[in-house]
Amino acid sequence: MRADDAARPWRDAAQENAAEGAAVRGEHTHGGARRSDGPPLPGPREAHQRPVVRRASVREQVLRALRAALLSGELEPGEVYSAPVLGERFGVSATPVREAMQQLAAEGAVEVVPNRGFRVAERGARQLAELAEVRALLEVPVVLRLARTVPAERWDELRPLAERTMLAASAGCPATYAEADRVFHRALLSLAGNAELVRIADDLHRRSQWPPAHDGSPARGQGDLVADAAEHGALLDALAARDLDVVRRLVREHFAGADDL
């Protein structure tokens, strides 16, 4: 990876955060008058349109950039990263980085190292297989039940999401594909009408995505992502046709390493 490519996510986040920081500090922006003792006054059309910039929005930007860096392998498993150092790379203070890292720690992507920072979690094939098994135990029965009860036309509503996963896979960006994949699975499971199911399944899905396992096996390339995305369209076809045998096979294959259910 070239130095310019590796630094791009951090530069993009820094530019976004600098713009938000300027708004918070009250620096001049077009479209508003300026008070001598505070931030610019909004123009007549902006009085009810200007969004309130909060620290949480900066944290969310940092969180998105960190997730992309984890999925791309830019943040390497086993390495320890401190919030102040990452803050310098983002062009923000350590606080939003630390808050974003705490969220990643809750999701299992990093581990807290007292007085040092955060270590990117290292996982092997066994842990990934265990996550796949749990996901299968949770999702396979639900999808089979939906195959028997959901009208065919409802599955057509999910086709744009399936197409989005294919576009993301074709672009070859792991972070973009991971998000599109999770959106598709959330939408599919939401048809069960169980918000807790969707929340738990989404958490398991995210945990299964990062960080990539460094166990000697080759990393998933563009071809692997495209093949994975193609299963979404095939699954929708089988669901619309209520072909339970094909649905069962496709869903099981989607969770590699799961036991026979």
User: What band does 231 get if pLDDT is binned at 50, 70 and 90?
Assistant: very high
Q: Quick one: 188 and 250 in the same domain?
A: yes
Contact (CB, 8 A) for 203 and 107: yes
CA distance 179 to 7: 21
pLDDT in tens, 171-191: 988 888 999 999 999 999 999
Q: How far apart are CA 43 and CA 221, in angstroms?
A: 50
Distance (Å) of CA 189 to CA 167, 194, 206, 227: 22, 8, 15, 21
90 contacts 17 by C-beta, under 8 angstroms:
yes
Residue at which a domain ends, from 86, 120, 154: 120
Phi, psi of 77 (to 5 degrees): -55, 135
Structure confidence by residue, pLDDT tens digits, 89-127: 888 999 999 999 999 999 889 999 999 999 998 877 788
Assess whether 113 and 218 both reside in one domain.
Answer: no
CATH number of the domain enclosing 42: 1.10.10.10
User: Does the global pTM surpass 0.75?
Assistant: no
Cα distances (Å, whole numbers) of residue 16 to 90, 196, 198: 9, 34, 31
Domain range for 69 is 3-18+38-120
Count of domains observed in the chain: 2
CATH code for position 247: 1.20.120.530
- Does 33 map to a domain? no
* 169 and 99 housed in the same domain: no
